[in-house]
Amino acid sequence: MKPLRVFAALAALAILEMGVATMSHASTTPVLVIHGGSGVIKRNLDHARENQVRAALARALQSGYAQLKAGKPALDGITAALTVLEDDPNFNAGRGAVFTHDGRNELDAAIMDGSTLRAGAVAGVERVKNPILLARAVMEKSQHVMLIGQGAEAFAKEAGISLVDPSYFRTEQRWQQLQKALKEDREGKPHSDTETAKHFGTVGAVALDARGHLAAGTSTGGMTDKRWGRVGDSPIIGAGTYANADCAVSGTGWGEFYIRTVAAHAICMRVSLMHVPLERAAAEVINQEIPSMGGNGGAIALDAKGNIAMPFNTDGMYRGWIGGDGVAHVAIYDDEPDAPTGADESDTAPFQPSP
């Protein structure tokens, strides 16, 4: 064969192989799973609020899934879903975040790309409208993984991330929640508002994209009445947020315990190294290890096959998932059905706002 023909034959073979590779990646059914915080007290939500929360979760799922369906990376699915929840005052992230002891809103967020192990995080920011977008910019546009406070905000300006006046984050409900906690502090009483109380409404997302890549992200205002620049698990890679090639996790709960158990990483290492099924791996950490130490909360987890786990050891966890059927499924309480293991959840009820 003449050299030119050999070259043409090799090129044709390479193109064919590329095609096969692309086809096999494209065959992954995207999946998106979200949470809006754990700790719901049964029947504690009024009907209107419950409807708002369910509708917001459904909107976030649709927004994130539109990205995944269009072939965009898992990171895009996550940021699209989480910005919807950050903008919604019903959640403890972005607008609607809890107040610190000093009456401020200090926000934390993290994102991780499972296919490259790149990660970005921010903590203690007070003027960033969507902290998850800043975490992503830290990952994509800086040499670093984690930026805090004023430095993070200076970077936000350079990266073209929207800044707002701190009053943007304030909601009356969160302000009253702080006043109640401060009164209890003054009276030397333990905080009665177990709502979930001090830590509730954090938002998180894990996604599997059409190429089979996973990612995880979490955004929070932390815990009501927090002091001294307290930072929880959400922005700490491995504690509240983690993703690798096999597994992606976003946690929500009493952050100190998630940090001490390195919860998200502990789940994924069980999956990656010990080949423990995702559901069992997540349950061991969330429902055994954390409560045995005195902590509480929940998590969402997703593996590369599209298996979903959503364990929690509280009365409920705002949660939702969307897969092959393209239908947004949402749940709050522990007696509502969760996603069956696998990417196709067509046998669970779609979200219907009640009148």
Chain contacts with ligand ASP (rule: CB under 6 A): 37, 199-200, 202, 220, 222-223, 232-234, 240, 252-253, 255
Cα(88)–Cα(222) distance, rounded to whole angstroms?
A: 16
Cα(30)–Cα(74) distance, rounded to whole angstroms?
A: 8
**202 given a catalytic annotation:** yes
Contacts of residue 296, defined as CB under 8 A and 6 or more positions apart, other chains included, come to 38, 39, 253, 254, 257, 290, 313, 314
77 or 232: whose CB is closer to ligand ASP? 232
């999956």: which residue's tokens? Answer: 271
131 or 222: whose CB is closer to ligand ASP? 222
What is the closest distance, in whole angstroms, from the C-beta atom of residue 56 to ligand ASP in the complex? 16
92 or 115: whose CB is closer to ligand ASP? 92
- The answer to whether the beta carbons of residues 131 and 120 sit under 8 Å apart is no
Among 28, 83, 202, 224, which one carries the catalytic annotation? 202
66 or 178: whose CB is closer to ligand ASP? 178
Q: How far is CA 223 from CA 11, 92, 93, 179, 341, in A?
A: 58, 9, 11, 14, 32
Query: Backbone phi, then psi, for 148, in 5-degree steps?
Result: -125, 155
Sheet containing strand 297-303, edge to edge, reads 241-243, 247-253, 297-303, 308-309
What is the closest distance, in whole angstroms, from the C-beta atom of residue 298 to ligand ASP in the complex? 9
Q: Catalytic residues, which ones?
A: 202
